[in-house]
Amino acid sequence: MANNNLGSEPLGSELLGSERSFFDLSDPGSSDPGSFDPGRRQFLWWSSCLALLPLSGGLVAQTGARNNGLTRVTLAGQALMKYPLCSQPYDGLAEVIAELRKGDVIFTNLEVAIQTAASGAPTRDTEFFHAGSQQTLDCLHTMGVNLVALSNNHAFDLGTEGIVATRDAVAAAGFVHAGTGDNVAQASAPGYLTTPASAALVSMAMGRIREGGAATADRPGVNEVRLGADLVPNADDMARNLASIAEAKRQAGLVVAYLHNHEWGEDMAITKPWARDFARQCIDAGADIFVSHGAPLLHPIEMYKGKPLLHGLGSLVFHSHTDVGYYVPQVWESAIIHLDFDGDTLRNLEIVPLWTNEVGDDADNHWPTRGRPRLAHGDQAARIRAFLMSGI
């Protein structure tokens, strides 16, 4: 399969020539493993992939178990999965699934409403209407995903009934989730996952939450954080969510704070100053990881007090109905991030670059066969990796 993105402008020149990068962030000579002096990073190059592991009886396979005492949190781009993916295997899918299933905690954002008999009518009639099915959830299980954010601007694509139906379907399928609820308190509450260690998710959304989509005291919806014209998040929304993060940290060993952000400004490729501050406030409240989607492309990784700020991870699956050429080439690039924690101290960070195909694999079946993830290689992988690391 030819890679349609190899002609894009390089995003960086460092670290060329490897398929993935593994960064050992521990320093035996330092009492602060969270301080990131570039002079003491170790770069170890890995090129092997695990074979696809079959799922066994349980809903969530514990495929990331290691003997080093670390807990691996694996983070992927958003899952805009409208069509069957795992039930229609293609070249490269097995490698992506094997990579995802190396984690203990395996996270994505569900960027579709799940259509069930209880869903409402569509609230969009454009190419930006995003709905999936039970097959979407089945595929996420096959990928090993066990922690799911539901707070995003497409949660309302099947109305209020669709928000409730999606949450119910996700829960019935066995996923730990956060970000929507019967009211704003429930939507803001953490979701808790027990793996070899305990983890929690607080899931928020900002921007393009249409009228009726946000949870209120007496209406189901999304956990919205409103951004004022002065680019300052609403104080009440922030207080509610920072309190939820603090509560999550009291209950769980690792806390993931998630923001689905559509407040891009004029350039969606740039992490805005207010967004950096937002992420840091989440860490100060108790989060161990901050991760964001929304803008459908990668943003550089930052570190704050030894904690990773992942301002944009692009898309794991991107079943967009936009015209070819609608998006810049970088939208079709992504990554899987593995974070290894010793307690709540980050020890290792591994970047596994991905790409998704803008043009469908089957010319006669374009939409269902576009936006499929594959591992990136060569110059493209080096470019993705260097760009992500440019913020550290």
Q: CB of 365 within 8 A of CB of 81?
A: no
Instruction: Write down the pLDDT at residue 287.
Output: 99
DSSP state of 234: -
Q: CB of 388 within 8 A of CB of 298?
A: yes
Instruction: Write down the pLDDT at residue 30.
Output: 38
CA distances from 269 to 92, 272, 311, 335, 385 (A): 27, 9, 10, 16, 16
Instruction: Write down the pLDDT at residue 32.
Output: 40
Q: Two tokens at 345? A: 């101290």
d(CA 153, CA 331): 18
Instruction: Write down the pLDDT at residue 59.
Output: 22
DSSP secondary structure letters along 64-126 = T--SSS-EEEEE--EEE--S--TTS--TTHHHHHHHHTT-SEEEEEB-SEEP-TT----S--S
Q: CB of 373 within 8 A of CB of 379?
A: no
Greatest Cα-to-Cα distance within the chain, rounded to the nearest angstrom: 60
10-residue mean pLDDT series, the chain (392 residues):
34 40 57 36 31 26 53 99 96 99 98 98 98 99 98 99 99 99 99 93 99 99 98 99 99 98 97 98 99 99 99 99 98 99 98 99 98 99 98 94
Q: How many CB atoms lie within 10 A of CB 239?
A: 11
d(CA 318, CA 111): 9
Selected from 3.60.21.10, 3.30.390.10, 3.40.190.10, 3.30.70.60, the CATH number assigned to the domain covering 21-27+36-51+68-389 reads 3.60.21.10
d(CA 296, CA 331): 6
Instruction: Write down the pLDDT at residue 195.
Output: 86
CA angle 213, 112, 286 (to 5 degrees): 70
Q: Two tokens at 302? A: 């930052």
DSSP state of 38: G
Q: Two tokens at 221? A: 């919806």
> pTM above 0.75?
yes
d(CA 193, CA 145): 12
d(CA 93, CA 318): 14
Instruction: Write down the pLDDT at residue 24.
Output: 72
Instruction: Return phi, psi of residue 53, to 5°.
Output: -95, 130
Domain residue ranges of the chain, discontinuous segments joined by +: 21-27+36-51+68-389
Contacts of 328 (CB under 8 A, 6+ apart): 8, 269, 297
d(CA 25, CA 14): 18
At 247, is the secondary structure helix, strand, or coil?
A: helix
Query: Among 274, 272, 265, which Cα is nearest to 299's?
Result: 272
Burial 323-350 (b: 16+ CB within 10 A, else e): eeeebebbbbbbbbbbbbbeebbbbbbb
- The amino acid at 201: L
